[in-house]
Every structure is written in structure tokens, then in C-alpha cells.
Structure 1
Amino acid sequence: MNEPTAPEPQSSAKVIALVDDDRNILTTVSIALQAEGFTTRLYTDGETALKALLENPPDLAIFDIKMPRMDGLELLQRLRDRSALPVIFLTSKDGEPDEALGLALGADDYIAKPFSQKLLTARIKAILRRSDVSRALPGEASDEKMPEPVRRGRLEMDPARHRVTWDGKAVSLTVTEFLILEALATRPGVVKSRNQLMDAAYSDDIFVDDRTIDSHIKRLRRKFREVDSQFSGIETLYGAGYSFGEG
């Protein structure tokens, strides 16, 4: 079951990749998403999924954590080395350590099993809206005013296209990383606490350890230093939080 189960997308249909070794869950979720206007691609193991996600990226991916050969955490870690694709984790009820690690590795959201199809669809649409992967989600209008670009020194952020550059060089960020950076860059020099950054990056019903923000900041710094080894734009005020200094 490693092939798309619906036709490839028309002009507005968004593609959702589902990765789970439970074929019943794959089928049930796929049918529900197709009813909402999405196209789905189904994969039963992480190794096959990783190759497909990199070669032909969907608009969003949903990973189960507990899988043979390559679990969801390893799949995410290897994907994040090369892609900022939005990712939702499916976790068990007692999977809090996995949830925290998944968010720290760059997941954009998680949903605990068992879950309602309505909740999953709402989370997918929220992430697509946040990342602006889609100007018009299934059944929704597309005439909303697009946000203005943010320019701070050598940094330029385009929320409408989810693009970030530093000195004109592209920096690939996940949705969560983008929102954290945007919260800092819109008010340069102002120290934002971890709680404030969590509020900017996550919806109200997601609870993460504040150290998860530290992990995201480390990933942001690493990504910017890949294009500028002297990057020092994100500053730490120990005990208080972080600020953007344009440096």
C-alpha cells in the first residue's frame, strides 16, 4: 500500500501522505480525507515513505510513531535533514515522551490515538493555513488579505509564501520554526519568553515543555549558520528568553 489511493491533485486538491503500518488506520483516514477534498498517498513503512517524501513531496505528512524498520521519530529526523515538510504525529495515549521528542525534532503538531476524523481534518487545515501551503483550502475562500513581508536587516520573511532569506540566501524552515522566528523578528530587540514563543508557535490545545523552544532555537541557529557561519541574530537572555538582534 505504497501508492496514492486517489488521483493526483487537480488545481486546488492538496496532497496528504499517511505513514502507518496499520492498514486499517490508513484506509479509514484516507477515506475521510478524500471526502474533505484531499488527495492521499499511503505508506506502510518509514523507509519507503522517506524516499517518496523527498522525491515527490506532498503538502503535509502524517506519521505514526510506532512502526517497524524505521519508526516515526527516525523518519522525521532523517526528513528534517533535507525538508521542511509540515508533519503531524499520531501517538498513543501514554506517548508523552514521544510527543515532546517529536516536537523538538521539528514536528508541527501531534494527535493522540484514538482521535476523531473531524479533529484530524481541522488540524491539517490549520497547519496548511499557517504555512500558507494552500491559498484556498478545500471548501474555503481564498480572498483573505495576505500578510506583509518582514524585513529586518539581512533577514527577509515572506509569510504568504513561507520563504525566508538571509543575505539573499534561502533558509528552509518548518512551520513551527518560521512562527518562532516571526515572533522574534517582528519586534527586534524585545525579549520573548519561552511561554510567549510557545503561544506564537502552537495552538492552544498543544502543551509542550518549555525546553522544546530551546531545541527549536538551536535548530534555527544551525540553519542560519549553514548560510552564514557568523550568524548571531538570535540572542539569548539567560533566565528570560530570546530576542532578535539583526546581527
Structure 2
Amino acid sequence: MAQRILLLEDEPAIADTLLYTLRNEGFEVTHVRLASEALAAFRAQAPDLAILDVGVPDGNGFDVCRAIRKTSELPIVFLTARSEEIDRVLGLELGADDYVSKPFSPREVCARVRAILRRYANGLSAGSGAAPAATVDSPGALPLRLDEAAQRISCRGELLSLTRYEYLLLAALLKRPQRIFSRTELMSLVWADAPDTADRTVDSHVKLLRAKLREAGASAELIQTHRNMGYSLTLSV
């Protein structure tokens, strides 16, 4: 069965090119031009992934993402003609899995879509009878467990709902507990495919991770801030 993509894009030339490429690659694509239409399409039949243009006539993709995130962890990719970092950071903080600035290659967007869907599929299929995935148990009394093959992390036995970059950031810290990573090091490890992202994005994602750890019953202080140095995963909490 073809995977379903919801595309919110109001520029006909861009939409037509993306539609042609995605459909040619075997995806089933629902194209809408307005934020209200995107939410209606999502509620009528949940897609496997959404591609949301940030600027549309009746609102923006950020608002659509907020509405979707109230009920779903649907993979989301943002498209935008704006290059300001604040837009990139806001998109990632809202839980986007990727962010593409215009102009872009439709084939690149398609490749990113496939990579995201493959990552989500791996996370959902783990434990379905396949060979056990390699895992990393946190040392000491830390309540975290990293499953690298499925690209997921559990806390006290419950899977954490993490975006792509949240997962990569926490995994990097978990694999080397107590090691202090500078922001530059974390940018290189986690945001290697987003070179235009500034290092304060690390701070934003640490804040989000701390909130999710707290919600999962773990201490937010598992991730320690080292002034003028960076971050580490502590063993002392």
C-alpha cells in the first residue's frame, strides 16, 4: 500500500513539482493550499507524513503543526521561503522532523521524506519478531535505555516521544555519560545535515528534553548544564 503524504503548499509551481516527484516515487499525495484544508484532510484520513509550507494565505504551517501535535506524533517536514534562524528553531521546537528552505530540490525533499518514514517504521517494528536490536543500558540508576537499531529511547520502560533531533541529542549524551559535550560538538554530532542552524538550537532542545524527561517521571536534571562548557548526562541524580 502506498504511503500517504499530506502536502500544504499554496504556490502552484512548487506544489506541481513536488506532486510530480512524490507521486513518481510511489507516494499517494493529498495536496491542499490552505491551513484549514490541511487540518480537515488530516482529520478525515491521517497521512503517514505531512509537508507543511510555513506561509499560506489563511495562516501558517506552524499553527497546523501545533494542532496536529495535540493528538498525533505524525512526522512533519516544514517548507519555507524564509531563512531566519528563529523560524528554523521554532519549527524544530514544535516537533518538526526536518526543515527545508526554498529554493530546494524536489528529489532532496523526497529523499528526506523516505529517510524519515524509514526511521519511524524502524521504531514501530522493533519487537515484532525480528532479531533483538542492539541496546545501550544506562549505567548506575539512570532510568534510560537506548535502542539504536530502532532509533528510540525508553525511560522507566516507557518509550519517549522524541523528534529526530531530540533523539539524536539524547542518544549522544546517553552513549557517553558524564562526558561534557560543547555546543559545537553537539551541533556536529546531531545537526550535521543542518549546517545553517546556530548553536543556541542545542539549548532549545535541551529544554524540551528536560520537560519530556520530567513528564516521564525522571529528573530533568539528568542533563546537566556546565557554564561556558556545554552539557552532560549525569550519573549522580
TM-score range, shorter chain: 0.7 to 0.9
Contact 1:176/1:201 (<8 A) preserved: yes
Q: CA deviation at 1:55?
A: 7.4
- Counterpart of 1:37 in structure 2 is 26
Contact 1:183 1:200 in 2 (8 A): yes
**Which residue of structure 1 aligns with residue 121 of structure 2?**
133
Equivalent residue for 1:219? 208
* Matching residue of 1:26: 15
- Which residue matches 1:151? 137
Question: In the alignment, what sits opposite 2:79?
Answer: 90
Is residue 164 of structure 2 the alignment partner of residue 175 of structure 1?
yes
**How many residues end up aligned between the 2 structures?**
226
Unaligned runs of 5+ residues in structure 2 are: 124-130
Q: Is the 8 A contact 1:66 1:72 kept in 2?
A: yes
Matching residue of 1:101: 90
TM-score by length of 2: 0.81
1:114-133 alignment runs, 5 A limit: 114-129=103-118, 131-133=119-121
Q: Against the structure 1 CA distance between its residues 49 and 82, is the aligned structure 2 distance closer, same or farther, given a 3 Å change threshold? A: same
Whether the aligned pair in 1 keeps the contact of 2:85 and 2:198 (CA below 8 Å) is no
Instruction: Name the stretch that deviates more: 28-37 or 82-91.
Output: 82-91
Alignment deviations for residues 6-60 of structure 1 (CA, whole Å, 9 cap, x no partner): xxxx1xx433221123355334312211211222232333344346547754333
Aligned partner of 1:244 among 223, 228, 233: 233
1:44-59 alignment runs, 5 A limit: 44-50=33-39, 52-53=41-42, 57-59=46-48
User: Aligned in 2, Cα 1:42/1:159: closer, same or farther, shift over 3 Å?
Assistant: farther
CA distance in 2 between partners of 1:147 and 1:40 (Å): 33
CA contact (8 A) 1:132 1:159 kept: no
RMSD between aligned residues: 2.8
**Higher helix residue share:** 2
SS at match of 1:173: coil
